Amino acid sequence: MGLIHEIDYGTPASKAEKQVTLTVDGFEVTVPEGTSVMRASMEAGIQIPKLCATDMVDAFGSCRLCLVEIEGRNGTPSSCTTPVAPGMVVHTQTGRLKDIRRGVMELYISDHPLDCLTCAANGDCELQDMAGAVGLRDVRYGYEGDNHVFAKDRTDGADNFRWMPKDESNPYFTYDPSKCIVCSRCVRACEEVQGTFALTIEGRGFESRVSPGMHQDFLSSECVSCGACVQACPTATLTEKSVIEIGQPEHSVVTTCAYCGVGCSFKAEMRGDELVRMVPWKDGKANRGHSCVKGRFAWGYATHKERILNPMVREKITDPWREVSWEEAFAHIASEFRRIQYQYGRGSIGGITSSRCTNEETYIVQKLIRQGFGNNNVDTCARVCHSPTGYGLGQTYGTSAGTQDFDSVEHSDVIMVIGANPSAAHPVFASRMKKRIRQGAKLIVLDPRVTETVDSVHAKATHHLPLRPGTNVAVVTALAHVIVTEGLFNEAFIRERCDWSEFEDYASFVADESNSPEVVGKLAGVDPETIRGAARLYATGGNGAIYYGLGVTEHSQGSTTVMGIANLAMLTGNIGRPGVGVNPLRGQNNVQGSCDMGSFPHELPGYRHVSGDAVRDIYEALWGVKLDNEPGLRIPNMLDAAVEGSFKGIYIQGEDILQSDPDTKHVSAGLAAMECVVVHDLFLNETANYAHVFLPGSTFLEKDGTFTNAERRINRVRKVMAPKNGYADWEVTQKLAQAMGLDWAYTHPSQIMDEIATTTPSFQNVSYALLDEKGSVQWPCNEKAPEGTPIMHVGGFVRGKGKFIRTEYVATDEKTGPRFPLLLTTGRILSQYNVGAQTRRTENVIWHDQDVLEIHPHDAEQRGVRDGDWVRLTSRAGETTLRAQITDRVSPGVVYTTFHHPDTQANVITTDFSDWATNCPEYKVTAVQVGPSNGPSEWQEEYEELSRQSRRIAGRLEAAE
Amino acid sequence: MSHDDTGANGPHAKLIRMANQIGTFFLSKPHDEGVAGTAEHINKFWEPRMRRHFFEVVDAGGEGLLPIVLEASASIRRPAEERKAG
């Protein structure tokens, strides 16, 4: 093994097509026009000494170390800022250059501590490397003069005003100004890669220092802790605290982040079986070497003390847990499930696959249910997030996934973000998007709030449509109205790729006055001119790309909005090439994969309906059983059936439905009515309060497999340590299946992928060998597209002709009135992930330790609510309390909160209304009232007591809080 | 089963609302296409016991169901009798 060393070419690659040939130290090299001499030399295998250059940021030319001599040119130009020219003859190592470089290094070292042996960067320091590279043997200047190195003057002990103490405010990395060489790589990484502009160089000349914000510490500055600066730093100035604590890693393995649907590739850098740090991998095609605070740093949950490592069983949910052997746990589940099926019928049990687990694990959970339980009662968390995407895009285009790869955004001219806040929820994609916006692309945002995406530094939205929650369909249809009535549609595209008569029907529908911005604007609370401006820009501004999130799907008309979005892209011809498309931003790491793998109760893997005889034949032949041809229960239906008494047992892998699903009281009533609830997870999550069996899970660091991200990219997950609980999740499911009498004998997840490839046409060519060779592939990956499909619908839609579908706006039944006059909508913040089970168990809580209710100053004043007050939040479903934050990011009449903390119980408030087509819950609209409160509600107090009681483990003392 | 049990306030209220939501979407389609679409949607996505409850409502007169849903019910598959034991 050993560490994976990525070559640093010094400057970014040029994308020019024209090639240029030059000579470096006598070797001929051909590179694209616009390449720097430094990069060309590296391509030729010659590394020019450098400090301020690195290929993640543009050349800067400040360190004066990378100088070269070029025949026919005067002086010694810096190779990082000098572009190649045809026939150029470069010398990188001459007597003159050697002298200059040694002189430069001597100056650097004269203001740098010489504590290399005890320095955290020892062995990974470019300053150290360069001192070696230039042959520095002596520093003539001494350390007596001005310096940034020592706190006290070495001669008289007086305070050295130039010295600055180490900033340890960030939980994950330190900033030690005494080691800084002011190369400004961190400042440029923050600007160019992350796009936050949190860092600057303050002062001039020798006084220059890196400063977060306005001479603040990192934690109180705008820094979002993405880690790009730490990665860029050539010295120990910015260093991961884990490296300081553990030391340098000795081997690394490329794997995939287990947080959001961007699916970033990381090198897990290890010392033995201890994880030292996660470093974004440059060749990762989703992230291109960038990361966010979650993937880069928030992996501490993997070894958190609350992780459960032994299986546990209990008779009743009021009993304490009893630790048992794996065999006993499996035998207990098998006998209970069989008993329940005997007593209540074959359809009385089911399961939920995890969008956090691998494709292979998800595939075998649905297989267990279909083959072993003999029914189709399988669902996954996509039910509560992107099921409308599956339905809406399936109807219009013929396939249910995003149309582009993330690289596509580099070719977009107009980016429309609808009901998504990528800066918080998909940060690495947001950085790539903002980079494009800084290059001149325009941004349109449809969101009730002024999100971070709306008003980012140097990436502000040209049009923000702050629509009332619940009016998506009306507004999206109004955009189409403008495009149609102003003649901005792409007739040639529509005639070629879509059904013209369906277009005519759709056009006559949208052209109706009731869909005009003037009418819609009133009910949606958006200025009609803003709607018109946005529509014109999207239709005529060049390549138009739509990115959307759960603000689109989690409504009673979620599926209709998805169709409306698909219609917009067809109308304008924005489909089937780089820079355009319809892109759902998927929430969880493998929610795309879990859908692909047949986790829906009506579909076998590859989105094939269970009623299709030919499809069932494939699996019946392979699995040796008769499969049910009727659709199974979806999660909300399972809970309804449980309350009714016909659904009694469930196997839940890596999903916390009690916290994540709406109408908590209904969920808990459903779970409480079941006779055998099996929770397979890392922690005793909220759902486990109602469980009879707990199976400990493994983290993404502890198993092999694949995740599929929002761009349909299948990425490898690689095991870097043994499962602390003893078994990878796929092994646990397999042992459960065996206990239930199934003859499974997988010895490695690659065999599961082989079965998937054999049975699923869109995965036909996928294998671990191919993934190892290519790094990743995007499905469909089969005979027609042997290396995968970066962009869908090129030359024609998957379904044949694109289908325009009427999108009639129907207001949700969830309406405000005298009792509940405000609309609650929900969302996420950067540092926390989903229900917080992972991120709450990391240092990320420093940024967000509780959910707060955002409320407009007018609404707050009317109710006598001050900033930071406890407030009671009430809906017809229930009530909870949390603290108020007064802000004009929300409009009057709208309140907003996050759902990262279980004690907030935001879902006690949300209702059981759902999307008409898929039952995806309407999280984004709840009519509520807000009033002052003294503290936690009765439900919150009772619930806390219940949680405490239900987490007792026999023979163990309760942890002192 | 009393009259109230099947209406908009009965135990099947949620089911009726869901069926009507589906029907409402298909109202904007040409009539025959809308009826067929409603039926197809319920056939494709509703588990047999949901359809069984649906027919309890229909058989009791269909109170609370939109006309398009009632019309579609003729093309919705009646589920087989419930089977016990797997």
What's residue A26's pLDDT? 96
Pick from B14, B24, B45: CB nearest A640: B14
Report pLDDT for B9: 58
Question: In terms of domains, do A474 and A556 share one?
Answer: yes
Is position A775 within any domain?
no
Q: Are A522 and A411 part of one and the same domain? A: yes
Which amino acid, one-letter code, is at A933?
S
Report whether pLDDT(A938) > 90: no
Q: List CB contacts of A688: < 8 A, sequence separation 6 or more.
A: A679, A681, A694, A950, A951
User: Which CATH number does the domain housing residue A536 bear?
Assistant: 3.40.228.10
In a domain, B51, yes or no: yes
Answer yes or no: is B62 within a domain.
Answer: yes
Structural domain ending residue among the three candidates A531, A566, A584: A584
Domain contains A218: yes
Q: What is the pLDDT of residues B22-73, one digit of tens each?
A: 999 999 999 999 999 999 999 999 999 999 999 999 999 999 999 999 999 9
Domain annotation covers residue B11: yes
The stretch A257-283 carries a mean pLDDT of 96
- Compute the nearest-CA separation of A835 from chain B (Å): 27
Q: Are residues A572 and A610 in the same domain?
A: no
Rounded CA-CA distance A129/A181 in Å is 14
Residue A40 belongs to domain with CATH number: 3.10.20.740
C-alpha pair distances (Å), A626 with each of A371, A374, A622, A630, A879: 8, 8, 11, 12, 47
Residue A382: per-residue pLDDT: 86
Integer CA distances (angstroms), A819 to A815, A816, A822, A876, A928, in order: 10, 8, 9, 9, 8
- Asked if A632 and B46 come within 8 Å (Cβ–Cβ), the reply is no
Assigned token pair, A913: 């209304």
What mean pLDDT comes out for the span A639-666? 92
Residue of B24, B29, B84 lying closest to A806 (CB–CB): B29
Give residue A804's identity as a one-letter amino acid code: F
Q: Does A630 contact B29 at a Cβ distance shorter than 8 Å? A: no
Chain B residue nearest residue A502, CA to CA: B29
pLDDT at A156: 86
User: Are B45 and A611 an interchain contact pair (Cβ–Cβ within 8 Å)?
Assistant: no
Q: How many domains does chain B have?
A: 1
A543 and A621 in a single domain? The answer is no
Share of chain A above pLDDT 70, in %: 99
Q: B32 lies in a domain?
A: yes
Asked whether the predicted pLDDT for residue B1 surpasses 70, the reply is no
Final residue of a domain: which of A713, A748, A763?
Answer: A763
Does residue A156 sit within a domain?
no
β-sheet bridge partners, residue A417: A445, A547
Chain B residue with CA closest to A561: the answer is B25
Q: What is the mean pLDDT of chain A?
A: 94
Together in a domain, A466 and A396: yes
The CATH number covering residue A905 comes to 2.40.40.20
Query: Closest partner residue to B49 among A342, A347, A373, by Cβ?
Result: A347
Q: Do A238 and A296 belong together in one domain?
A: yes
* CA nearest to B77 within chain A: A630
pTM of the model: 0.94
Percent of chain A with pLDDT over 90: 88
Residues of chain A neighbouring B86 (CB-CB closer than 8 A): 338, 341-342, 345-346, 373-374
B72 contacts on A by Cβ (under 8 Å): none
Which residues in chain A are contacts of B84 at CB distance < 8 A? 342-346
Q: Decide if B84 and A602 are in contact by the 8 Å CB cutoff.
A: no
Q: Are residues A499 and A603 in the same domain?
A: no
Rounded to a whole number, what is the distance in Å from the CA of A421 to chain B's nearest CA? 28
Q: Is the pLDDT of residue B3 over 60?
A: no
Identify the pLDDT of residue B86.
Answer: 39
Q: Report yes or no: A476 and A561 within 8 Å, Cβ to Cβ.
A: yes
Among chain B residues, CA nearest to A642: B49
pLDDT for residue A255 is more than 80: yes
Verify that A266 and A327 share a domain, yes or no: no
CB contact under 8 A, B46 and A631: yes
Whether A779 is covered by a domain: the verdict is no
Domain enclosing residue B35, as ranges: 3-75
* Count of domains for chain A: 5
Min mean pLDDT across A567-576, A718-727, A739-748, A873-882 is at A873-882
| Helix/strand/coil for A67 | strand
- Judging contacts by C-beta atoms under 8 Å, the chain A residues touching residue B44 are 602, 609, 611, 631
Q: Indicate if A556 and A611 belong to the same structural domain.
A: no
Residue to mutate among A348, A916, A922, with most B CBs inside 10 A, is: A916
ipTM for the predicted complex: 0.90
pLDDT at B83 over 70: no
User: Any idea what the CATH number is for the domain that residue A323 is in?
Assistant: 3.40.50.740
Say if the Cβ atoms of A631 and B45 lie within 8 Å. Answer: yes
Q: What is the CATH number of the domain that holds A220?
A: 3.30.70.20
- Look at residue A886 and give its three-state secondary structure: strand
Structure tokens at A837: 């089970």
Residues of the domain holding A46: 19-133
CB-based contact B14 A633, cutoff 8 Å: no
Pair A467, A556 in one domain: yes
pLDDT in tens, A518-528: 999 999 999 99
**Same domain (yes/no): A747, A629:** yes
Domain boundary among A713, A746, A763: A763
Mean model confidence pLDDT for chain B: 86
Interchain proximity A632–B82, CB inside 8 Å: no
Shortest Cα distance from A790 to chain B (angstroms)?
30
- Does residue B84 form part of some domain? no
3-class state of residue A703 by DSSP: coil
A134 in Cβ contact with A48 (< 8 Å):
no
In this structure, the answer to whether residues A628 and A491 fall within a common structural domain is: no
